[in-house]
């Protein structure tokens, strides 16, 4: 190992006076001009502590904190027992086993023993998420620059790794200045969107129809994962830019078509499943023609994720799984899992990269749970900040979309008051819940999971879920669902299910919260079963579900679990059997 390089520093005189030194040898310019003695101190740079050392010190602190808490709560006899159980050696302290069961954030292991040398389990747990915090991670170590100056995501083990000379996470990007800049830019870009309506067509689609599909997207699917950053997408759609492509545009058209009642979107006017088929075909053509799978871009990632979720919902699981898999590989290829300025640049780039990473992270976990397959993005790779700086959509008012070209028979039957959509905070909580989902999958549902290990993890997982529940404002969320249930009858049953789960787990509920069950239509169980088919459900059990849930109503959720539904007109005239 080579000796550390000696840094060139100012002389002691200039350093003491805090003036600029030209570091000339043997005497610097300022000392010559002022006739002062000039002396240099040659010292190697201070060594930075390694991650293992930092992790060990953090573990020691947590363990000692726990001991102090137990001593504080214990009786005099209990304190004596605790003190007697602590073994003190020459250079280490051995804590009792009872102090090693406290949850440690994302780490699945208990508190490790305090010792001079960390064990393998202390540095990496069985989930592979590690125990370091995001502040400990220097993502620049996993970046490389080639001869042309192009930055790629190649870690230290790669033969292509050529480390950057300087860098580090741009902490200044987290300032309020950039937050206000993004929010102001989002408001200005929203004012420019009307210019799109002046275009004669958008990628061969009549402008009025294209804007109808985009409005459906912003009203529904967009709020599920916040994959499409609206200010950048709509700006680049109008003027051209890196965050919009014909492939992404047609993917949005394809996924939004299923929410539209317009017959011109169907290849067969009698078959609702044919809605948007032309856009799916267009996406297939663009994938081949432009060789989109041969190079990674953010619009391609978003388009593949949208299509992947839709194909899984349409029961084409292989295609959906493969599309999502391509997108997740591209996430790593572009270094979206590395939250630093070297690969992002300005505040808008960082915001988009964060949203796309976490949207992909959530899609990965949902598909893994539903299909019973391994996850791709592990917790050890989830060091991207969840501090989304553009919060304009957080308090933006939301109401059900009404197509001006198709009369809405339900619009005259109720007066809906728009409610804040809380998109950003909901998405942040879904990110946290998805991290817990990762732990659940890795501990209970992976190949080779053993009952004894799974049983030992139950408490830590339960603690994580309890911690998430106490910080996720679930009561406020139910209040929003109650408001949405007035025009969107499909929301009634999910809200009731959440309340039953809360009651079963002893979670207090607001006694004033009520759900309006006298809605014109209700939840469509048949559609859900078609979306997520399970041949293992017997017919008798299927019938019992139908007796508990009302049927034949459009799914007016944001579209992750979507399929073909009866028209609103047919659903509205249906009278549910309450007997």
| Reported pTM | 0.61
- The per-residue pLDDT for range 138-160, each reduced to its tens digit, is 555 566 555 555 666 655 555 55
* Average of per-residue pLDDT across 252-261: 93
Q: What residues does each domain of the chain span?
A: 1-47, 51-136, 169-390
- The per-residue pLDDT for range 34-45, each reduced to its tens digit, is 888 998 887 766
CA angle centred on 154, ends 339 and 107, rounded to 5°:
55
Q: Cα 414 vs. chain centroid, distance in angstroms?
A: 35
- Is it the case that residue 425 has pLDDT exceeding 70? yes
DSSP label of 176: H
Burial of 190 (0-12, 13-18, 19+ CB in 10 A): middle
- The per-residue pLDDT for range 268-317, each reduced to its tens digit, is 998 988 999 999 999 999 999 999 999 999 999 999 999 999 999 999 99
* Average of per-residue pLDDT across 378-389: 88
- The per-residue pLDDT for range 460-472, each reduced to its tens digit, is 888 888 878 776 6
Return the pLDDT at 543.
46
- The per-residue pLDDT for range 232-242, each reduced to its tens digit, is 999 999 999 99
| Cα distance between residue 305 and residue 364, in whole Å | 9
Of residues 554, 560, 233, the one with CA closest to residue 426: 560
Return the pLDDT at 82.
79
CATH class, range 1-47: few secondary structures
| Cα distance between residue 6 and residue 379, in whole Å | 38
Query: Which residue's entry shows tokens 């202390």?
Result: 122
**Lowest-confidence range among 255-259, 374-378, 455-459?**
455-459
Return the pLDDT at 409.
52
- Give the Cβ contact number of residue 498 at 10 Å: 16
| Cα distance between residue 503 and residue 175, in whole Å | 41
Record the tokens describing residue 359, joined without a space. Answer: 């949207």
Does residue 25 or residue 363 have the better pLDDT?
Answer: 363
């Amino acid at each position: 190992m080579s000796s550390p390089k000696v840094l060139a520093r100012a002389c002691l005189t200039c350093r003491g006076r805090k003036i600029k030194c030209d570091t000339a040898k043997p005497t610097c310019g300022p000392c010559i001009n002022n006739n002062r003695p000039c002396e240099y101190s040659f010292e190697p740079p201070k060594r930075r502590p390694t991650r293992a050392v930092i992790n060990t010190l953090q573990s020691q602190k947590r363990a000692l904190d726990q001991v102090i808490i137990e001593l504080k709560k214990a009786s005099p006899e209990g304190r004596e027992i605790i003190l007697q159980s602590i073994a003190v050696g020459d250079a280490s302290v051995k804590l009792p086993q009872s102090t090693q069961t406290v949850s440690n954030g994302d780490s699945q292991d208990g508190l490790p023993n305090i010792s001079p040398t960390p064990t393998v389990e202390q540095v990496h747990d069985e989930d592979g998420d590690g125990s370091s915090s995001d502040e400990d991670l220097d993502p620049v170590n996993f970046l490389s620059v080639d001869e042309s100056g192009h930055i790629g995501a190649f870690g230290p083990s790669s033969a292509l790794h050529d480390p950057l000379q300087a860098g580090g996470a741009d902490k200044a990007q987290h300032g309020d200045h950039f937050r206000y800049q993004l929010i102001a830019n989002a408001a200005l870009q929203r004012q420019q969107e009307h210019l799109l309506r002046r275009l004669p067509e958008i990628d061969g689609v009549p402008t009025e129809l294209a804007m109808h599909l985009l409005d459906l997207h912003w009203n529904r699917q967009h709020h599920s994962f916040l994959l499409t950053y609206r200010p950048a997408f709509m700006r680049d759609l109008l003027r051209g830019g890196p965050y919009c492509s014909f492939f992404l545009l047609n993917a949005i058209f394809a996924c939004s078509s299923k929410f539209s009642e317009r017959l011109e979107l169907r290849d067969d006017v009698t078959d609702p499943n044919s809605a948007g088929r032309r856009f799916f075909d267009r996406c297939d053509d663009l994938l081949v023609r432009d060789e989109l799978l041969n190079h990674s871009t953010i619009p391609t990632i978003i388009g593949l994720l949208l299509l992947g979720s839709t194909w899984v919902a349409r029961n084409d699981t292989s295609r959906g799984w493969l599309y999502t898999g391509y997108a997740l590989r591209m996430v790593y290829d572009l270094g979206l899992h590395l939250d630093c300025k070297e690969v992002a640049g300005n505040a808008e780039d960082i915001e988009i990269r964060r949203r796309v990473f976490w949207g992909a992270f959530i899609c990965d976990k949902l598909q893994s749970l539903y299909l019973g397959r391994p996850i791709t993005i592990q917790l050890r790779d989830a060091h991207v900040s969840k501090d989304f700086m553009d919060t304009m959509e957080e308090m933006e008012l939301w109401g059900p979309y009404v197509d001006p070209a198709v009369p809405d028979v339900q619009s005259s039957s109720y007066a809906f008051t728009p409610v804040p959509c809380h998109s950003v905070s909901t998405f942040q909580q879904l990110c946290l819940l998805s991290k817990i989902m990762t732990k659940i999958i890795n501990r209970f549902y992976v190949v080779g999971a053993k009952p004894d290990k799974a049983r030992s993890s139950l408490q830590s997982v339960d603690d994580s879920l309890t911690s998430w529940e106490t910080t996720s404002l679930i009561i406020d969320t139910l209040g929003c669902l109650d408001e949405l249930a007035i025009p969107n009858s499909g929301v009634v049953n999910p809200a009731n299910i959440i309340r039953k789960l809360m009651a079963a787990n002893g979670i207090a509920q607001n006694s004033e919260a009520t759900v309006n069950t006298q809605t014109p239509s209700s939840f469509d169980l048949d559609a859900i079963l078609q979306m997520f088919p399970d041949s293992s459900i017997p017919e008798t059990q299927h019938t019992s579900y139908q007796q508990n849930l009302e049927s034949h109503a459009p799914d007016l959720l944001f579209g992750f679990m979507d399929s073909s539904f009866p028209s609103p007109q047919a659903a509205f005239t249906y009278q549910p059997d309450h007997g």
